[in-house]
A and B are shown apart, each in its own frame.
Chain A
Amino acid sequence: EDQVTQSPEALRLQEGESSSLNCSYTVSGLRGLFWYRQDPGKGPEFLFTLYSAGEEKEKERLKATLTKKESFLHITAPKPEDSATYLCAVLSEKLVFGKGTKLTVNP
């Protein structure tokens, strides 16, 4: 059975304090790994798709990396507006989500 585990469940950072979120997965036939940002009461907002081990993608203060067993979402010098829940999902036959990491960035 496909599984996705995200850690930590919650993370508090000071503005400018860089850190990483983890997404570990077990899946048969990975077709893609996705990172999303979700704000309260809204649908997930697409951030990145990674398709193969070794792939990296960047967008502003975010960088996503992928290995055969896990993905990291690195946040460099975060700002309060980066506060949100970050969701990881893997696609094989269907899309399976992790429970998310709630990030709070304090000014």
Chain B
Amino acid sequence: GAVVSQHPSRVICKSGTSVKIECRSLDFQATTMFWYRQFPKQSLMLMATSNEGSKATYEQGVEKDKFLINHASLTLSTLTVTSAHPEDSSFYICSATRRLAGVGDTQYFGPGTRLTVL
């Protein structure tokens, strides 16, 4: 099956530093990638939609200057949390859209990145 990887899987950083999270589709080209965050015992909250070669579309309430998204290629998207603060601590998950001709779109998720800001 399709595989999406995320790196790092876990990161601890000091308040005020920036953290970059990578999301890669390993065996397919993703037409679109999405970034989510998930708080304990809650569902996934969409942060932004990332299309290769164009600016990301952010959901209402998500600061685009704080959560920088770069979609460098059809297999790689990065999320940079700038000047991280403790309230940014969360589980960040990416997904990649795989388009199957004649079938439709399916979303595959990465394993997630646990960010802890001290």
Residues on A facing B (Cβ under 8 Å): 31-32, 34, 36, 41-46, 49, 51, 87, 89, 91, 94-100
The smallest C-beta distance from A90 to any residue of chain B, in angstroms, reads: 11
Q: Which residues of B contact A45 (CB under 8 A)?
A: 109
The smallest C-beta distance from A40 to any residue of chain B, in angstroms, reads: 9
- In Å, the complex CA distance between A45 and B34 comes to 15
Q: Are B104 and A32 in contact (CB under 8 A)?
A: yes
Q: Tell me the count of chain B residues lying within 8 A, CB to CB, of chain A.
A: 24
Most buried by A among B43, B95, B111: B43
Contacts A95-B34, A99-B43 hold; do A46 and B109 have CB atoms under 8 A apart? Answer: yes
Residues on B facing A (Cβ under 8 Å): 1-2, 4, 6, 34, 42-44, 46, 49, 91, 93, 95, 103-112, 114
Contacts A94-B34, A100-B43 hold; do A31 and B104 have CB atoms under 8 A apart? Answer: yes
Contacts A32-B105, A36-B109 hold; do A94 and B44 have CB atoms under 8 A apart? Answer: no
- In Å, the complex CA distance between A42 and B4 comes to 13
Q: Which of A31, A42, A46, A87 contacts B108 (CB 8 A)?
A: A46
The smallest C-beta distance from A89 to any residue of chain B, in angstroms, reads: 7
